[in-house]
Structure 1
Amino acid sequence: MKLDMLDTSVFIAYVVGLLILALWISRNESTHERNTEDYFLASKSLPWWAIGASLIASNISAEQIIGMSGSGYAMGLAIASYEWMSAITLLIVGKYLLPIFLKNEIYTMPQYLEQRFDARVKTILALFWLVVYVFVNLTAVLWLGGLAIETVAGVDWLFGMIFLALFSIAYSLYGGLKAVAFTDILQVVLLVFGGLLLSYLALDAVADGQGFLVGFGILTEKVPTHFDMILSSDNPNYMSLPGISVLVGGMWVMNFSYWGFNQYIIQRALAAKSTAEAQKGIAFAAYLKMLMPLIVVLPGIAAVILYPDLTKPDEAYPSMMSLMPAGIKGLVFAALVAAIVSSLASMTNSISTIFTMDIYKPIKPNKSQTHYVFIGRLATLVALSLALITAQPLLGKFDQAFQYIQEFTGMFTPGIVVIFVLGMFWQRATSMGALSAALGSAILSFTLKMLMPEIPFMDRVGIVFLLCMALAIGVSLLGKPSTNNSSVSLDDVKFNTEPSFNVAAIGCVIVLAVLYVTWW
């Protein structure tokens, strides 16, 4: 599939417009010498709408759009649990976790671990996150993004990856988090509009021009099993989404790790004007998450009817784009690229923050603010260069890069969640308990995968979480109580939320309950 002249013109207009917006935002920031708070935390000035939009723009990328559409093609609406369960997770993070982080005035997640435990825990986790962000997350986004550009525009995947890297640098390197967050507003508008338009046209095509409501009815009639939210044990996709444990098992661990303790996600909320503003932004993001299945999963289900003979499920989304008329195709392609470059910019900004504040600054503690900002920019360039070099060797042999991400991070996710949960809510937790959870997570995950491969991945995450929790508690009780407990005190933390957040949370829960009851 190739883009015609009108599509290309629309796409170029998007690229130029985004760069102009980013430069304008960055120029407004240049009235004084930029310090680390300006660059890494947007001067702690982000409003709720920028936080919510940036959270979603950072989250949605090629692996979500293409991968989840492919999963919609293969297994149906059940894959939407990743999105809908995330909405509930966001609300819990906003009410119970975020106030603790903001009270401690941190830049990074490793910084909190140093305040709560010691420098060993901080350094080990900081190095782990740097490796994961560069060699797992960045490589996956670049690789899948390059393949998407090759499929849609006919440009070689390598040149596509280079374009994405240069594009993300061009609009984020100078302005830092503020440039990323405010341009994310444009990215999300385009992503939502383009995605909803594609879903509308797909359902209309299923109905042969009789409208999207008729098309949706035809889908539910012809492929009813694709609308089962909870898969039975005899379903061929049960290993990926193991029935009721999707609602009560390991997915909660994965979601809390991602939305609560993931630097490139939570950094937006850390940059808020206030706790209340951050919570409003998180509630806004929760509603956008509920909308995502309409944008990324529904087109994949429609492709079952329109393109029943695809060789791979991940071809569903690019194939659906061929339905687009001239001009609209360029707009939807721009939305796809918008999601990719936003994720790249968010990841590289967080990589530079962790490297500068948690690794470099302790080694060189007395440098100027300008120097640290320079090191952050340099870290961004190095991280993207490494990801470009290693993306194809690491991911070229995988049929689904999304599985690569889940399998690798899932080895460590249970331990990370245990460390933070015990560290935040149990004063008796010690640094040795935290380190035992981190090490135990990798060992136990690998052992269970080798000895009991029949256990679904998500169930294995839940089991390892419980084992790591028991291990960390046991080791902590055997050791001496921690003397560095200032960060764990909850006396000054206010968990009460504004009425607007409470109403939004109740509304979200009601909507999700209706969705699950309807499609159970």
Structure 2
Amino acid sequence: MELSLFDVLVFVGFFAVVIGVSLFKSRKETSSEDYFLAGRGLKWWLIGVSIVAANISTEQFVGMAGQGAGDVGLAVSNWQLLGSIGIVVIAFTLIPRFLKAGIYTMPEYLEYRYNSAARGIMALLTVVVYVAVLLTAVLYSGGITLRTIFGLKLEYGVWLIGLLAAGYTVWGGLKAVAWADLFQGGALIVGGLVIFFLGLHACGGWEQFTEVNEDKLHMILPESHEKLPWTGLASGMWIVLIYYTGLNQFIVQRNLAAKTLRDGQLGVIFAGALWLIVPFAIVIPGIMSNQLYGDQMSTPDEAFPILIRNLVPAGLRGFMFAAISGAVISSLGSMLNSASTIFTMDVYKRMFGGKAGQKGLLLLGRSMTMIFVIVGCLLAPMLDNPKFGGVFQYIQQFQGYIWPGVVAAFLFGMLVPQAPAASGVVALVSGPIFYAIFQMFAKTQHFLVDVAISFNLVICIMGLMTFLRPLETPRKLPVREDIDLETKTDVKIYGILVIAAVIAFIVIFR
């Protein structure tokens, strides 16, 4: 697909504004709290759009659209729609706890609840998963998108995207990321909807589209379905969503940076409302692409890029290029900032540099950001191997090593004050072991079922340890005195409306 001079100017102008605003807004970051948590001053609307921009990247545009084009169809939307319900629940349960404690990271919470070993284990697990799985997959999906649309060599696309994201993230930290997300998140939502309407027109309208693709427009799939059976939705997916919406650093970090509890709660509810757009902006266009250009695809992951290549007219191509590039760059910026935050605050400062000054922490955070993006760029081209089964499947399946143990450690620790410190460590270690065993010896079983069984086994072990050696005096968490923790009525109403909208969508397309 060729870009006109106008398209090039739109693309360059878009990123000039994005980078310029983000660098200007983050020009006064002088402390670790400024760099990693934006001075705890983010407003709800910035939090909401930033969460969406961090979450929706080319692994959705490539991976979710690819599964929509394949045999999963509309059911892949369950990841986002059930996530909307999950993030509303998290807004009223976990966010007040975390804001009250005044923590920087999720591993930090585990030290207060259990011990420093639990904090260190989760920190190392999280950094490895972020760099080896999430960061690598996002870079790869961005590179394959640029290769499919513009013929750019995969390795070149990966490095281009990685260095752009690292640029403003290294400079300004979370505040730079959040302000960049405001523009990039808006662009990806608008860009996705533009593709939806162009595809709908090419398919002959909604009625003809639904008639041709009736078998793909179902949210609930049979138990025998290989990629997303209803048993997976009912068992392991809720564990995944608790982790992703409530314990995942690169999502929750924005909530930890909220100015008030209302900003934090309303921000995630706003993100949940925006996630309702995902089926229309990403998944349904993938189904449309299969209908229109299925014979041109060598793999389902090419569905969304092929739709762009064939349908976007001259004049809009520069904007779409900017929207796609912005989607991957915003997610990369979030992951890089969160990974460097955890490494700096939970690994280096806690284990090696208790007396580190603010300048030293800032320098380390910026240095680790660059190191992580280099590692990701080197690993990303390896995912071009078909053995990984598509980028979305790769992301979900390999994160299974962290989900069961982390969710069990947090939930059991919160609900059972008598759980001993050692139980948190055992949960974090046994979770990956149980999941690995199922992956090796139960290959026909869906990975979400593996997650659910592993989680329950971890809970059983923690329960037994608590029964045998209960904690006599529950550990006390730190308390911030400078924040109002009362949930406002309007926030509750907005949360109920988002949940109602999700239920209505699932009922309509069941």
Measure, in 2, the Cα distance between the counterparts of 1:427 and 1:114: 14
Deviation at 1:386, TM superposition (A): 1.5
Q: Does 1:35 align with 2:22?
A: no
CA contact (8 A) 2:400 2:451 kept: yes
- Output one character per residue of 1:272-320: Cα deviation in whole Å (capped at 9) or x when no partner: 0011110010110010111111111010111122113223111110111
| RMSD of aligned residue pairs (Cα, Å) | 2.1
1:336 counterpart (314, 324, 330): 324
Q: CA deviation at 1:205?
A: 0.9
- Corresponding position: 1:281 with 2:270: no
Matches within 5 A, 1:16-165: 16-27=16-27, 29=28, 34-74=30-70, 75-165=72-162
Paired AA for residue 143 in structure 1: Y
Distance 1:46 1:410, change over 3 A: same
1:254 aligns with 2:254: no
| Deviation at residue 412 of structure 1 after TM alignment | 2.5
Aligned ranges for residues 192-211 of structure 1 at < 5 Å?
Answer: 192-207=189-204
Does 279-288 or 467-476 show the bigger shift? 467-476
Which residue of structure 1 lines up, in the alignment, with residue 301 of structure 2?
A: 314
Between the aligned partners of 1:324 and 1:420, the Cα distance in structure 2 is 46
Q: Provide Cα deviations, 1:145-172, integer angstroms capped at 9, x if missing partner.
A: 1121122222212111111121112222
Give me the TM-score of the superposition, normalised by structure 2: 0.95
Match of 2:207 among 205, 208, 217: 217
Query: Paired residue for 2:289, among 288, 300, 303?
Result: 303
Please, what TM-score do these two structures have when normalized by structure 1? 0.93
SS of the aligned residue for 1:219 comes to helix
Secondary structure of residue in 2 paired with 1:497: coil
Instruction: Name the SS for the 1:297 alignment partner.
Output: helix
Contact 1:22 1:172 in 2 (8 A): no
| Identical pairs, percent | 37
Change beyond 3 A, Cα 1:423–1:395: farther
Contact 2:158 2:380 in 1 (8 A): no
Which amino acid letter does the alignment assign opposite residue 6 of structure 2? L
Structure 2: gaps spanning 5 or more residues? none
Alignment-derived partner of residue 210 in structure 1: none
Structure 1 counterpart SS, 2:171: coil
Answer whether contact 2:232 2:446 (CA < 8 A) is retained. Answer: no
CA–CA distance in 1 between the matches of 2:257 and 2:485? 19
SS in 2 for 1:486: coil
Q: CA deviation at 1:245?
A: 4.6
Aligned to 2:339: 351
Distance in 1 between the 2:37 and 2:198 partners? Answer: 40
Which letter maps to 2:13? A
Deviation at 1:452, TM superposition (A): 2.6
Corresponding residue of 2:183: 186
Give the Å deviation of 1:467.
1.5
Q: 2: CA distance between counterparts of 1:329 and 1:394?
A: 27
Match for residue 264 of structure 1 among 242, 245, 250:
250
Return the alpha-carbon distance in structure 1 between the equivalents of residues 231 and 429 of structure 2: 29
Q: CA deviation at 1:475?
A: 1.8
Query: What is residue 467 of structure 2 aligned with on the other side?
Result: 477
The letter for the 2-side match of 1:114 is: E
The yes-or-no answer on 1:426 pairing with 2:409 is no
Q: Are the equivalent residues in 2 in contact too, given 1:427–1:488 (CA < 8 A)?
A: no
1:63 partner amino acid:
E
CA distance in 2, matches of 1:493, 1:431: 29
Which of 204, 215, 240 is residue 227 of structure 2 equivalent to? 240
One-letter amino acid of the structure 1 residue matched with residue 10 of structure 2: V
CA contact (8 A) 1:424 1:488 kept: no
Matches of 2:16 and 2:307, distance apart in 1: 26
Q: Is the 8 A contact 2:260 2:483 kept in 1?
A: no
Quote the offset at 1:133 in angstroms: 1.0
Is the CA contact (8 Å cut-off) linking 1:173 and 1:380 kept in structure 2? yes
Aligned CA distance change for structure 1 residues 44 and 494 (closer, same or farther; 3 Å): closer
The answer to whether the 8 A contact 1:418-1:469 is kept is yes
Q: How many residues align?
A: 505
Aligned to 1:8: 8
Cα offsets for 1:221-280 (capped at 9, x unmatched): 11111111111235xxx122112551x321100111111111111000000001111001
1:381 CA drift (Å) = 0.9
Task: Please give the per-residue CA displacement for 1:308-359, whole angstroms capped at 9, x wherever unaligned.
Answer: 3223111110111020001212211211111100111111111111111111
What's the offset of the Cα at 1:496? 5.5
* 1:446-493, Cα deviation, whole Å (9 max, x unpaired): 222333323222222112211211111112322251656102999x99
